[in-house]
Structures are given as structure tokens and as C-alpha cells.
Structure 1
Amino acid sequence: MTSPKTPSPAEQIKQLRDQLNDWSYRYYVLDDPAVPDPEYDRLFRQLQVLESERPDLISPDSPTQRVGDVPLDGFNEVRHAVPMLSLGNAFNDEELRDFDQRVRERLDVSGSIDYVAEPKLDGLAVSLVYENGELVRGATRGDGETGEDITANVRTIKSIPLRLRGDKPPALMEVRGEVVMTHHGFAELNRRQAEAEQKTFANPRNAAAGSLRQLDSRITAQRPLEFYAYSLAQLEGENWPDRHSAILERLRQWGLRVNPEVKLCDGVDALLAFYQDILARRDQLDYDIDGVVYKVDRLDWQRDLGFVSRAPRWAIAHKFPAQEEITVLNEVDWQVGRTGALTPVAKLEPVQVGGVTVSNATLHNLDEIRRLGIRIGDSVIIYRAGDVIPKVVGKVQERSPADPQVFKGGESAAIRQVGPFVRIPRECWLSPRYADQRAPQAPRHCPVCDSQVIRKRGEVAYRCTGGLICGAQQREAIKHFASRRAMDIEGLSIKRVDLLVDQGLVSNVADLYRLKAEDIADLERMGEKSAANLIEALAHSRTVSLERFLFALGILQIGEETAKALADCFGDLETIRRAPLLLFLAVPDVGLEVAKAIHAFFREQHNEDVIDGLLAEGVQPRANGHPSAAFVRELTLGYFLKAAKRLGMALDGVGEKSLETLGGHYKTVAALAEADADDAPVRPAMLEQVHKALGQDDWRQRLEQAEALASELSEKAPRETAEQALEGQTWVLTGTLSRLTRDQAKAHLQSLGAKVAGSVSKKTHCVVAGEAAGSKLSDAEKLEVEVMDEDTFVDFLAGHGITL
């Protein structure tokens, strides 16, 4: 048997070149990336090595000699006066030090070099041209020489000024920058897309690129795009600054936004410190970055260093560890969550992603699996960012089994049924016979309790019908209740929860507070001291903030922010427990489905019994007892009528403006119900429709119930509340606090209306510094931002009615 012939260098280079060009076309032109960036980078570096060994084989169309591909046909072409080139990459500290050494050697400088360091934004590079201060053109990078005219679209981005600030703008200026989509904006966009049953986006970068390439700029205007300027390409009628850092400051003066993380660094060690700092804070930023860019600050040195064919010698991108990788999907398991929802979990060939070995990843739901076209045996793209659970975001068609292929394994290898799961042997993956079996299917019965699995109309998730008898829901509810961000019961680990349930000592969260040390001291790996510590931790957790308590209950669709909003709006637990559905709709950021979930939870007798049990065992959810004045102001008759219409009250043909008018005129439900058509501020037919609707489905009674509670809340609400005393202020926490946790300090500041940020800037109002405060304290001192120690901060809170 002859061994395969090794491809010649020319053949290897051609194969790599063709593959990279194809991927570039998918990435730049079709907005449909075929592989993650690290996979492209690996092949690109292979091509660079081969071409360095055989420079005679370099061709003009090699990816190493160009940036991207041709622009889309839907836009007019724009020829860049100054090419938009790419950057070389450093993938580790050693490669960065090599870059710095090359710079110093070429400049013949023995000391350190000043660099400007900035986050490498993961968006779309654009060029903006201003003439006499007016924005006249926006263009994409395209292939670096020729881009796409997207002027109409960039004019819709609010962070791009249509006219520069200042009385004497330059005659001509071309600024380069990046258009990105924030994480918050991306989540909101996908929510709207899903509600409209339109395509959702895989990540913020794709969403930003797709938004900028809309032929209808009205669509772009609805997308949450942001712009950050990072360089100048042309400047006429104005003297060029002598440093890159001065250029950025000039751009700020002209009204262009520059990333606040940009920093001037002295030498390569300062660059590495910047890299580690921004890498540690990467997940706290509201936009995606995939590395850091370093540029020599002095422009005369930039000119001396010049360019290579593809990139400037005076700048480099220091890439972060890959957040995306390719691996093989071996099988799919199903996890049962605390609400009974079944989530498919991908079992993968282990792969390193972001410095962590990943062998499991979420597949979200069966609809997502089908949308991606994923089957057992496929090569899939795994995404992981920071502590985010790894997820499958795509399929690599070229590396996945093709169903029509001739079967290459022994068909005698049978598909195995293991519990509720189907196991398909690898040797069957390529068989047409097993093509359908490779497509993951939801189990018919719960993998934990064997109860029936159903999917309600309009829901994405499949759910176990076992309810309280399902061990997964019982255990997960207790684990969530005890978790750090909920009741924070120290020592009640996941394994101990399992042990307590297995021994029959705990069946719901109220049972935790009925435990006695002698009941648990003899349990495996417990002992008297551990038992006493757990009982003490349970006693300590009995006093907890209302928002933590609400979050700990595990109400469907209720996260920490919604729990806080409920606590702030109503002021105490008992009012929330008896509140009608109409009032929940008035809570900020609570939509119809979330309001229904909250209302249904507190109308379920089992849940009420558990809450009563918790209160009977001494659990005391702390709240200020005062409803939010802003919330109470919303609870007008006009609001209740509009909310009732959303809930199905038969008010078709009566618009929201008319309902507001009726509410403002009559003030109460009784007055509206007895209103005479002659005195009505709307057409008699509308009033008649309202009267008819009040008589159906107990709507008058429901509205009067809501009105009565609103009146009660109004009496409790303080005329002047301190809750917005810090409205508009940004605070930063740093170091270790001894009298309260960082989470508690953050919650107190937010209750007073402050925003709590992760980094210090000129806009920071105050920094609270505990023990071992680090760089944030230094930044505050440099920027002359007010700093409070912990004792001063505690006194400050007390002055605003918050005692620890």
C-alpha cells in the first residue's frame, strides 16, 4: 500500500490561499463567518511561514498581501485616499517583546518607547470624511483599497456627530474608527427580532455588520450602534499633532468619541500590565473586544518605521485567548432545571477555549438546534467568554459528516438506548440510514423522574410535568435559594443539598430552617463542628434584603434586577403577595409574560405555604416599608385602563390616548362606571364600549381592587423619598470591605439612584476604597475623584437612612 503523496510547497500554499480567501469572502462579503477567528489566524500564520520560506511563490492575491475582499454590490464603491490596512498580531508576551525590540532597533533607541494602548474593539472598521466640519461620507474598509459607501447609515448613529464641534473645523478630515453594538443593545435587538419572528443574530459583531449594510437606513436607525474613533487618515487646513495621543485628544475636542480605556504606556512592561488589566475586566465591558492594540505614540517615529506589505511596523494587535474553537459534537444530554425546563447539553470532544478545557456546552433549546442544523457527529463552533457558560453557536459544514456518503463502518453496530438518551456509535455517523437519528430529539419522559415531558403552545422549552415529585426541580430550587447571590447560606454546598434531600431531611426551602445540629452532625463528611457552622449560617441568613429573598424564591423569569425593582416599587413582601396583576405591569422593565409569572407564583397555594413556613421559622426579608413614589405616581386610572386592555379587556376601538383622557377626567373606577355620555370627554360610542367592558369578566371588580391597593400604597409613599438622592452619579467600589460585602454596598448605592461602574473615569463621582485597594484608587487620585474609606461610606449611608 503506497503512502499518500506529500503536497508540494506550491500546492500547500495554493490550498491555504484558496481556503483563506473563501473564508474572507464569507466573513467580509456575506457576513456569514464559516469558522472562528482563531482558526483563520492559525491557517494565516501557516501561510506566512510557507511564503517566508518560498517568497517566489507569493502572489498578489494571497491573503497576506491584502486585507479583505470586494465590497457588496448593493452599495456604491468608495476608493480610500489612504488605504485602510490591517495590523500584525502578537499572541503571547514573548511576541510582544519581540515587537518592542524591533521598534527600538529600527529607531536606534536604547530606552523605553511611549505607546498608546487601547482595546481592540470587535466591530466593523469605518472611515468618516468631514469637509469644513460637515460629515460628507462614511465608508466600510472593504478590501482596504475600496470600500462601500454607507453614508446614509452612519448618519443614523447618534455617537457620530453630523458636524464637528468648534468654530474653525479643518477643511478636510478623515477619521477612522470602529462601529460596535453593546451587549445590552444586542440583547434588546435579539429580543425584538424574536418577538417579530425575524432572524436573531449570533453575536454583536455580526449584528453591527449586518446593521451597517442595510440598504434601508431606516432599519439601521433602529439598531443600537456605537462608534469609537481611533485614528486620523487625512487632515487639511489644520496642523497635524506630533503624537497619536494628541490626535485622540483633538478628536475628542471635535466631538468624536474615543474609547475611555485608551492609555499612554511607557515601555513594554506597561503594555503587558495594561493587557492583563483589560483582560481581567473584559467581561465587565459592555462591548466585545478580542485583544489590545498598541501604537508608537510619536508620529515622526511612525513615519520612520513605515509599513510592511500588509501592516504598519509601528503598531500591533495583542490578541486575547481564543473565545471560539471548533470541536466535535459526540452526543446530546438533557438537563432538568429548577423550573422543570429541559435544556439540551452538548457533550463534546474536549477542547481549549479561552484557556479552559470545555467538554460540555449549552444548546439552548431544540428550536436553536434545528435552526443551526446540528446533528450528532458534526463539527461545531464553541463560544466561551469569561465565566459565561460555553455555548454552541454554529456548525462547520465542511468538517461535518455528509449524510449521502457511502457508509464506511459496520452497520451491525446498533444504536444504544441508555435511559432516556439515544447513543449513536461513531461508526454510524456517516450512514444515510442513521441521518435522522443523528438529529437530536427531546425525550418523551423526564430523565430524572420519568414523568411526561410536554411543550406548551407558544413556549420554546420542553418541561417536566413531575413538579414537586421531580428530584431535579426540588434540588435545584433549594440550591438556587442557598446560592451566594440569593440567601448566601455559607456551607450549604451542592453536595450537601443533595445529601439533605437524599436523607429526607429537607423537601423544600422552609425545611432548611427547621434543621437542628444533632440531625445533621452524623451525616457523611459533616461532624459536629460543620453541623454547628451550617446551623449558624442558616441563622445568619434569616435576615436578608427583600430583593435577595424574592430572587431566592426562584420565580419563573425573575432575575436579580427584576427582584430589586419589585422590592423598590412595593416596599414590603406582604403587599407584593396580595398585589393584583395590573400593578405588576407597572413595575419598570416588567412585561406582560413576566407580570403573569409573578402573579401566578403568588397565587399558587403551595408557594404561599412555603413562604409562610419561611416566615414562621424567623426569616425576615428586610425592606424600607415605603413604596417608590415614582411607582405610585404611575398608578392612575388611565394606566389601569391601558394595562387592562393589554390583559384582554374588551376595549377594541378605544385608543390609549382616549383611555388616558377618561382616566384623567373621572379619576376613579366608580366615577367612570357611572359617567353620563353627555358629560364624557370622548365620543359617546367610546364611553359605551368602556361601560360594556367594565361589566364583563369581573373587570370592574379587578380594576377597583387595583385602585384600592394603589390608594393604600399612595398613603405609605413618602412625599420626598431619598431613593434618587444619587441619581445621575457614577460610583466605583474597590478593595475589601469589612462591615458589608461589595454586593451589599452596590445594592445600597443603586437604591439611592447611583450607577456602580467597574472602572474610574473623569465622570466618576466618588470611589469607595476598602483594604488593599488597587489601581482604581490610584486612578481616582490621578483624576482628583473624591475617595471615601469604609467608615465614611457607612456614615454616608446612614445619613441617607440606610443602616447596616
Structure 2
Amino acid sequence: MMTRADFARLNDEKLARGETPFVNPRNAASGGLRQLDSRLTRERRLRFFGYTFGAIEGPAVPEDQGARLAWLREMGVPVAAHAEECPDIEAVIQAIARVQAQRPDLPFDIDGVVIKVADGALRERLGDTARGPRWAIAYKFPAEQAMTRMHAITWQVGRTGLVVPVAELDPIYVGGVTISRATLHNPSELRRKDVRVGDTVIVQRAGDVIPEVVGPVLERRPEGTEPVPVPTECPVCGTPLLYGEGDILLRCSNKRACPAQLLAGIIHFVSRGAMDIAGLGEKQIQFFLDKGWISDIPSLYELGRHREAMVNEPGLGQQSVDNILAAIEESKTRPLSRVIIGLGIRFVGEKTSIDLATAFGNLDALAVADEARLQAVPDIGERTAAEIVTWFADDENQTLLERLKAHVNPTLADLEPLGDQFAGQTVVFTGKLETMTREEAEAYVRRHGGTPAGSVSKKTNLVVYGPGAGSKLAKAEQLGVPLMTEAEFCEQYRPLESP
């Protein structure tokens, strides 16, 4: 956490050195935590409030939330002064209103409050889900709002063909950032809000993150404005647009030839979470498309044919070109799960791609799987199975896949068993891991016969924790689940030394 006073002082110091100031305390604080040089982190003057604790050896510690906070205070740990225990929901509502009223005068920024069940035994009965505890919920305050003029509406085409109206705004400072564009979500929302070009509109950051238009200020509406027409053709390629999913979402069906979808699809394919081809960003890919050097995903692997022209292009040069071509070459043997992610199938993310790679072993087997076979894979439901079948049944996708297979030889290296020390066991990682990523840790467990999980239960066999571990660690202690620090895990199993 960074106080407003410390933020102002930090920016004054940056300006005095001729540096660009930070936009808001949140960005300054999060950036400070990522610094490799601890001296730079210290300059940010970061603070924290304790709200619970992880593993503690020695004296018995309280289970109820109020008693925990009192214990933390006694131990000299800073605790938020506004925390209070409420006897019923009416008291909770009143407490929220009090904090919200005090929000402008607090020495730091907040976006809401957290409401928790105080009783430790009741928390245990409520348990957790994969996404968090059932005994705690965040209540977000209404987003900070501001008014500005909307001078245009553009229609943006995404990777899956979704066409979204976007408000073009006179720049306005809201919630710590300057906003010049904001989403209107879909045609149905556009009609419901009835915002028009030239309107003064109310803008906010949804969840204090995503800029959105709340609605028009009707008393300021200029004369002669008209409702914004919804396009019937793709604004990029001219293909007739289709409604789907309850006549709310508008899509361009030109999956392969629409330049916007093509660009977004290639960006997704080369991204770190998919094929991880370094050196290929949006501007670079668009430049290669404009030059005709690439035309789709498979053509990336034929880019070497244009090496001479690339080297002679201003701003590229031999070293840069060779680095790009080497990164493309290296990607040819990425794990099968990464290739599956790169295909861009709706609802198929990292975990699902690993499950599919494990279940089918190659692209050919996956391509012919029916919905029943797909739904037999753990955690794959009807909707995801239908999307996978639809993707592979598409003639153009089949052609793309055959061309891609001519260049890419995906491996199962990330899935091949290396041992059985975790056979039949469920392992949970929690907190910040410092010597390996969470993906590396979970892959190690998976390749040694175990199942990595996102939540702790009575069936959990081991919890490995790092700094910042919270409710998962606390629950593991309550359930008597065996615990290991990350250092102990690495010392015993040496995951970073595995082939």
C-alpha cells in the first residue's frame, strides 16, 4: 500500500530528477514490488496492514477474526483502524456506509471493503471454492465517475470476431488514469444507454479497472443528435454481421480473411502463454502482414523466405531479423498444450489445454474427438466440448491445421512422467513462489504422478507455501494437512534439476 502523501512525495522526487511521474499509487506500489533492486523498492515507502497469519509455531493463536486482529496488534503488526465486528447484516450495511463516507479523507486509496465471517468454526464448515473462501466476500464501492464529451463511436473487432462499440472521448482523468476510450459492451447496451455522438457522458472505471460509459447527461445533449446506428457489415472487412447468444453479441463471421481477426489471432498465437515467440508484437505483425510476408498463422514458419527483404528494411537489421527467425524456429517443438492454446479455440485456456494434451496426446486424436469423448475429460463441460468440436469441424480450420502440422512438431515433454513420488496425491501451492513459477511447480507435480489443485480440502495431501500465503495455508493448518515451505519442497524434490 502507498499513502497519498508518499505518492505525492515520490512524484515530486521523480519530477526533480526530470523523470516521468507515476500515474497513480496503485501502479507505483505494484511496480515497486516487482523491482529486482530492493533499494528501489525501499524508495517507494510501501506499507501494509495485517489481516491474518499463515504458519505459526509456538503459542496457540486465536481462530476468530476479531481476536486475530487484536493478537496482531499486540504483536506490533499494523492493522487497519476501520476494521470492526458487526452483530448482523444491518450493522454490516451501516459499517460499509461509514467507511464509504470516510473514503475521500483516508490517507490512502481504497475501492471497497471485505466482509468476513468472524467465527473460525463456522469458516471451517463453509469451506472454500477453487476461487476463494465461501466465508469472505469483497464489496466494491461505486466507481469514481466523471463527465466528458463523446465525439465518436467506433466499432472494434476482436480475435473471435466479436464486434464491440467503443466510445471515443475527450481525455478525462478518472480513478487515477486518463481515459480517452471506453467500452459500450455490445449493441444492446448501446441502445439501452442511448448515448449519442456529441453527448456529454458519465465515465467510470468498472471495478476501478476497465473504462466504461455509464450513460449520457441528457440535460446537456445538443440539439439534432441521432441514435447511433448499429453496423450491418464488419467495419474492417465488410462481411455481413451476425447476432448470436441471445441476439446480444454481434460477430463478424469472416474468421480467416477479416484483417482484424487475423491480426488478433496471430498476436494470440505468438503470445507468451501460447507459442511464446519473442520479438513479434502487434506492430511487428501488422507490418509483416502489410508487406505480404505473412498471411496467417502457418505462414509465420515460412517467414525465412523473406529474410533478405527483412534485413534491408529500416528499423529491422540483421540481428533483429535473425532473432525473430530463431524464436520462430524454436517454437516448432513447443509442448502440445501450448499449440492447443495457440489455436484460439473459445473457452480453451491453459488448464484445459493441458487436460486435452494429456487425454489425447496429439492433434489428430483431438481433432476427431466427439463431444461425449471430450466431456469425459475432467473439468471439460458441454459448452467447451461443443466449441472444440465446432472448431475442428470447420473446413478452413482443418486446412490451417494441416499446414501448421507441416511446420510444428509439438512435444509431450511437459506431460511425460518423470517419477511417481506424488502418485495419487493432491498438492496445493499457495503464496508467492520465489525460485520457480506456479506453472513450473504444478507441472513438476503433474509429471511425477500427482494432481495440482487450486483449493485445500480434506483430500489434499500436501500444501507448499511461500510468502503471502493466506487462507489456504490457514485452512491446511486447521485440517492438519502436511505443510512445506518452497525451500523445503525444493530441497527434498529438487524440481529445478529435473530433466
Q: TM-score, normalised by structure 2?
A: 0.64
Aligned partner (choices 205, 217, 236) of residue 383 of structure 1? 205
Classify the secondary structure of the residue corresponding to 1:532. Answer: helix
Corresponding residue number in structure 2 for 1:356: 177
Corresponding residue number in structure 2 for 1:594: 384
Q: Distance in 1 between matches of 2:182 and 2:463?
A: 41
Q: Distance in 2 between matches of 1:793 and 1:733?
A: 19
Equivalent residue runs for 1:130-279 within 5 Å = 138-141=88-91, 144=94, 228-229=116-117, 251-252=119-120, 255=122
Q: Distance in 2 between matches of 1:616 and 1:143?
A: 62
CA, structure 1 residues 335+115, in 2 after alignment: closer, same or farther (shift >3 Å)? same
Aligned partner (choices 551, 555, 561) of residue 345 of structure 2? 555
Corresponding residue number in structure 1 for 2:313: 523
Corresponding residue number in structure 1 for 2:70: none
CA, structure 1 residues 723+448, in 2 after alignment: closer, same or farther (shift >3 Å)? farther
Does residue 734 (structure 1) correspond to residue 419 (structure 2)? The answer is no
Q: Distance in 2 between matches of 1:345 and 1:538?
A: 34
Corresponding residue number in structure 2 for 1:472: 260
Say how many residue pairs are matched. Answer: 393
Question: For 1:278-329, what per-residue CA distance to the aligned partner results, in whole angstroms no more than 9, with x for missing partners?
Answer: xxxxxxxx954769xxxxxxxxxxxxxxxxxxxxxxxxxxxxxx95332335
Amino acid at match of 1:730: F
Amino acid at match of 1:745: A
Q: State the Cα distance separating 1:372 from its structure 2 match.
A: 4.4
Structure 1: unaligned runs, 5 residues or longer: 1-91, 97-111, 129-137, 148-203, 209-225, 231-250, 258-285, 292-321, 406-428, 627-717, 758-762, 769-773
Question: For 1:713-751, what per-residue CA distance to the aligned partner results, in whole angstroms no more than 9, with x for missing partners?
Answer: xxxxx9x988864415334442354xxx55443444467
Question: For 1:152-199, what per-residue CA distance to the aligned partner results, in whole angstroms no more than 9, with x for missing partners?
Answer: xxxxxxxxxxxxxxxxxxxxxxxxxxxxxxxxxxxxxxxxxxxxxxxx
Identical aligned residues as a percent = 26
Corresponding residue number in structure 2 for 1:565: 355
Corresponding residue number in structure 1 for 2:251: 463
Q: Distance in 1 between matches of 2:423 and 2:204?
A: 43
Corresponding residue number in structure 1 for 2:218: 401
Question: For 1:755-802, what per-residue CA distance to the aligned partner results, in whole angstroms no more than 9, with x for missing partners?
Answer: 368xxxxx982247xxxxx7779xx9xx9843337964773488xxxx
Corresponding residue number in structure 1 for 2:79: 117
Deviates more, 1:524-533 or 1:721-730: 721-730
- 8 Å CA contact retained: 2:414, 2:443: no
User: Larger relative CO (CA 8 A, sep 6+): 1 or 2?
Assistant: 2
Q: Distance in 2 between matches of 1:256 and 1:790?
A: 28
Q: TM-score, normalised by structure 1?
A: 0.42
Aligned partner (choices 489, 494, 502) of residue 282 of structure 2? 494
Does residue 578 (structure 1) correspond to residue 368 (structure 2)? The answer is yes
Corresponding residue number in structure 1 for 2:302: 514
Q: Distance in 1 between matches of 2:372 and 2:411?
A: 24
- 8 Å CA contact retained: 1:334, 1:343: yes
- 8 Å CA contact retained: 1:767, 1:788: no
Amino acid at match of 1:394: V
Amino acid at match of 1:754: P
Structure 2: unaligned runs, 5 residues or longer: 1-43, 49-73, 98-110, 125-135, 456-460, 478-482
Aligned partner (choices 482, 490, 496) of residue 270 of structure 2? 482
Classify the secondary structure of the residue corresponding to 2:147. Answer: strand
Equivalent residue runs for 1:222-371 within 5 Å = 228-229=116-117, 251-252=119-120, 255=122, 288=138, 324-328=144-148, 330=150, 331-371=152-192
Does residue 754 (structure 1) correspond to residue 419 (structure 2)? The answer is no
- 8 Å CA contact retained: 1:543, 1:622: no
Corresponding residue number in structure 2 for 1:535: 325
Q: State the Cα distance separating 1:127 from its structure 2 match.
A: 3.8
Corresponding residue number in structure 2 for 1:641: none
Amino acid at match of 1:443: P
Q: Distance in 1 between matches of 2:415 and 2:233?
A: 45
Q: Distance in 2 between matches of 1:536 and 1:603?
A: 33
CA, structure 1 residues 625+614, in 2 after alignment: closer, same or farther (shift >3 Å)? same
- 8 Å CA contact retained: 1:551, 1:563: yes
Q: Distance in 2 between matches of 1:119 and 1:506?
A: 59
Q: Distance in 1 between matches of 2:373 and 2:255?
A: 28
Amino acid at match of 2:160: T
- 8 Å CA contact retained: 2:155, 2:164: yes
Classify the secondary structure of the residue corresponding to 1:351. Answer: strand
Q: State the Cα distance separating 1:366 from its structure 2 match.
A: 1.4
Q: State the Cα distance separating 1:117 from its structure 2 match.
A: 1.9
Q: Distance in 2 between matches of 1:93 and 1:731?
A: 26
Q: Distance in 1 between matches of 2:200 and 2:377?
A: 45
Structure possessing the higher radius of gyration over alpha carbons: 1
CA, structure 1 residues 722+446, in 2 after alignment: closer, same or farther (shift >3 Å)? farther
Aligned partner (choices 423, 442, 445) of residue 230 of structure 2? 442
Q: Distance in 2 between matches of 1:486 and 1:748?
A: 19
- 8 Å CA contact retained: 1:354, 1:384: no
Question: For 1:44-67, what per-residue CA distance to the aligned partner results, in whole angstroms no more than 9, with x for missing partners?
Answer: xxxxxxxxxxxxxxxxxxxxxxxx
Classify the secondary structure of the residue corresponding to 2:267. Answer: helix
Aligned partner (choices 441, 453, 472) of residue 745 of structure 1? 441
Q: Distance in 2 between matches of 1:478 and 1:528?
A: 23
Q: State the Cα distance separating 1:475 from its structure 2 match.
A: 1.2
Amino acid at match of 1:735: E
